[in-house]
Amino acid sequence: MHDDETASRELIRLMTGPWVARSVAAAVRLGVIDHLEGGPRPAPELAEALGLDPDRLGRLLRLLAAVGVVRRSPDGHTLTATGERLRRDHPSGLRDLALLYDSDLFTRAWEHLPEAVRSGRTGVDLAHGTDVFSLLEADPHEAARYAAGMAAGARFVRDLPGVYDFTGARTVVDLGGGSGELLAAVLDHAPGARGVLVERPPALVAARHRLAAHVEAGRCDLVEGDFLATAPEGGDVYVLCRVLHNWSDAEAGRILRHCRRAMAPDGRVLVVERVLPDAHDPWLSLVFDVHMMVMTTGAERTERQYEELLRGAGLTTDRILDLPLEMRVLVARPVGP
């Protein structure tokens, strides 16, 4: 294959990436993925069970086999390890993420990427006439889908207690803690710690369910609040997981200043984000950086950019720890008195 053909094929692969993603989401929505659980099924039998056109289903399955979602055999089609993660009952929850990425909220916002780059406005504002958080508060159905997708994309939080030792913590404050998955993992691993989760009312519904056992044991408080306005006082560890990347430098700095004022003198702030290394550009983090540009006023920031924000809040980087999928934990400590 000549170099010019290789380059052309690679460019076409990149340009048709959204078609593959929509094909995967279509297989989820049509029930194809769930009906392939448990063994090979011939395409005609699957089409009849789902009320689909046999020829067109066969063509969709052929593409899914080519990209590694299903496997073809003489007996029919089965799910690969990749495809298994799209099942409704799979613990990864990645089915919810596939449906969120294929949602009208995301796809319409991404259609406005050129204008977002040109104007400095977000794709969500250009597509929907408001910011993403106001839109979600006004639409419970969209908010539920968003929360499910975000929870699926945050399974890495289970690894957090393995890279940062919470056993000496007295009070862990999780600002914008969503469904409570992260705080639950922390409290499970640090039996001497007490937790405080701060969220808007819609998100507290899921958190009450996930953290019920810890709340009943008197180890956790759920607080309705706005981290842009304040932070609960007295914590010795403040966690900001996928929070700062949603906000501009001015707003992110304000959140960090609230933490600095509220924290114990020997406290720490954990910034859990795709912190971009200063020395190189990891592609997955850069994809999410452009996604932040489309969806929010925030960004995925470099180590140096985070240090500038921290310094403005009276904090500095103590160390940076690695998590799966290019996530990192920036541990910040106070500077001076």
Domains of the chain: 3-84 (1.10.10.10), 94-151 (no CATH), 156-334 (3.40.50.150)
Q: What is the pTM of this model?
A: 0.91
| Strand residues in the chain grouped as ranges (E) | 70-73, 76-79, 171-175, 194-199, 220-224, 237-241, 268-273, 315-322, 328-334
- Mapping DSSP onto H, E and C, the string for 277-331 reads CCCCCCHHHHHHHHHHHHHCCCCCCEHHHHHHHHHHCCEEEEEEEECCCCCEEEE
How many residues make up the chain in this entry? 337
C-alpha distance from residue 39 to each of 30, 94, 136, 142 (Å): 18, 21, 39, 34
| pLDDT confidence of residue 156 | 83
Residues 6 or more apart from 77 whose CB is under 8 A from it? 36, 40, 41, 42, 43, 46, 61, 65, 70, 71
Chain position carrying tokens 């992110």: 252
Say what the pLDDT of residue 2 is. 67
Residues with Cβ within 8 Å of 320's Cβ and at least 6 positions away in sequence, in order, are 275, 303, 328, 329, 330, 331
Measure the CA–CA gap between 71 and 86, rounded to whole angstroms.
Answer: 14
Q: Which residues are catalytic?
A: 245
CA 5 to centroid of chain Cα atoms: 36
Pairing label, strands 70-73, 76-79: antiparallel
For residue 61, give the H/E element and its range: helix 54-66
* Alpha carbon separation from 295 to 14, 115, 187 (Å, rounded): 21, 13, 32
State the amino acid at position 218 in one-letter form.
G
Q: Token digits for 119?
A: 């104007």
What lies within 8 Å, CB to CB, of 312 at 6+ separation is 253, 256, 257
Q: Taking a C-beta distance cutoff of 8 angstroms, is the pair 73, 40 a contact?
A: yes
One pLDDT digit (tens) per residue for the chain, 337 residues? 567 889 999 999 999 999 999 999 999 999 999 999 888 999 999 999 999 999 999 999 999 999 999 999 999 999 999 999 999 999 988 999 999 999 999 999 999 999 999 999 999 999 999 999 999 989 988 988 988 888 887 778 889 999 999 999 999 999 999 989 999 999 999 999 999 999 988 788 889 999 999 999 999 999 999 999 999 999 999 999 999 999 999 999 999 999 999 999 999 999 999 999 998 899 999 999 999 999 999 999 999 999 999 999 999 999 999 999 999 999 999 997 5
